[in-house]
Amino acid sequence: MTASAPITQDLLTIPRKDAEGLPNLVGLTREALGAALAEAGVPERQIKMRVGQVWAWLYQKGARDFDTMTNLSKAFRADLAARFQIARPEIVTRQVSADGTRKYLLRIAGGYEVEAVYIPEEDRGTLCISSQVGCTLTCSFCHTGTQKLVRNLTAGEIVGQILVARDDLEEWGKPAGDKRLVSNLVLMGMGEPLYNTDNVRDAMKIAMDGEGISLSRRRITLSTSGVVPEIARAGAEIGCMLAISFHATTDDVRDRLVPINKKWNIEALIQACHDYPRLSNAERITFEYVMLKGVNDTDADARRLVKLIAGIPAKINLIPFNAWPSAPYERSDWDRIEAFAEIVNRAGYASPIRTPRGEDIMAACGQLKSASERVRKARRVPAT
């Protein structure tokens, strides 16, 4: 990235929908959509067909208005519009990093804000989405964890982040076979997805549905800090790829970095990983490991790490710590990170070092929060 490359920030003016008004069709499972249509008077024998039609409009064509659903009768469209809405999170700001990363600050019902980040790469485009506003957990190296406001996102708000990104990238209606812009999803934004498992599951079912967004479960990765009892449920009910925010190799250090470790320790977490379904060389667990100078980055740590995960098909994603204002840690030196990676690699595990993306717009891992806080502060200033 060159220092002089421009960072653009533009305010988009998508009209605000009244999210607290009519029920939103976005985020309903097929069953729930069927029930909603039945309640709206669609006869039982037509439900399946109608669900299919509305579903395709919502998730294949990205319809934002009932009026565009031209294969439905005018009367039916009007009926739907009187009873339901098609609402997405509202884009407050969109920042585009010098490296092409896009960060969206999104407003949802109640005036809450979350962030989603789109990361284009050569062979894929990854959308990093949030599952909660803020996070109730307090990992000591994570900026999101310092945010006080917290609420779970609804399934519609989780799917809505995908819809918003596809709107912005103008990806709707592209011919099948074209390179997909949003080809991968990671639940690595704000929040702990396994403290909101039901909504995350419903949203991911929609994302995976073959007649809609149609992302393969292998292209969806859920990252958890270690909510052990929910890990099996994610495997059974979502079936996506799993990433574990591991970050330490002794309970003592992990208790300090990832406090949920006091509830479910390393041993319990590792057992849950062994039990995760369908593990194979093609479907490995990603162990995320943030590199903190002098805290968790010694050769001994690297050796303990490979011992702990022995027998689990895994790769280890080393994340150079991303700083945020008054963070109590520093990033490990580059040669330390490489030495650590080398030990892990020699033990037979892939150990990519995650290149920080979108740092100039605070979009990198663990940096999400500041923009919303800034915007919130600005809005608090009374108008004169």
Q: With binding defined as CB under 6 A, does residue 91 bind ligand SF4?
A: no
Max Cα–Cα distance, the chain, nearest Å: 70
Binding segment for ligand SAH among 54-62, 73-81, 139-147, 233-241 (CB under 6 A)? Answer: 139-147
Q: Helices (DSSP H) in the chain: which residue ranges?
A: 30-39, 47-59, 74-83, 155-168, 197-208, 228-233, 251-257, 266-274, 299-308, 334-346, 370-380
Q: With binding defined as CB under 6 A, does residue 135 bind ligand SF4?
A: yes
Q: How far is CA 266 from the centre of its chain?
A: 24
Q: Which residue is nearest to ligand SF4 (CB)?
A: 145
Structure tokens at 277: 């379904």
**CB 245, min distance to ligand SAH, A:** 4
Q: Which of the listed partners (ligand SF4, ligand SAH, none) does 290 bind, with a CB threshold of 5 to 8 Å by partner kind? A: ligand SAH
Binding segment for ligand SAH among 46-54, 55-63, 105-113, 133-141 (CB under 6 A)? Answer: 133-141
Kindly identify the residues of this chain, within the stretch 198-237, that bind ligand SF4 according to CB under 6 A.
Answer: 225
365 is catalytic: yes
Catalytic residue among 115, 192, 230, 288: 115
CA distance 159 to 130: 10
| 343-362 burial: b if 16+ Cβ within 10 Å, else e | bbbebebebebbebbbbbbb
Q: With binding defined as CB under 6 A, does residue 297 bind ligand SF4?
A: no
CA distance 332 to 325: 17
Q: Are strands 125-128 and 220-224 parallel, antiparallel or unpaired?
A: unpaired
Residue 108 CA: distances (Å) to CA of 24, 64, 73, 147:
12, 16, 31, 17
Q: Which of the listed partners (ligand SAH, ligand SF4, none) does 230 bind, with a CB threshold of 5 to 8 Å by partner kind? A: none
Contact residues for ligand SAH, defined by CB under 6 A: 135, 139, 141-143, 188, 192, 223-225, 245, 288, 290, 319, 321-322, 365-366
Which residues of this protein are in contact with ligand SF4, per CB under 6 A?
A: 135, 137-139, 142, 144-145, 191-192, 225, 245
Q: What is the set of active-site residues?
A: 115, 365
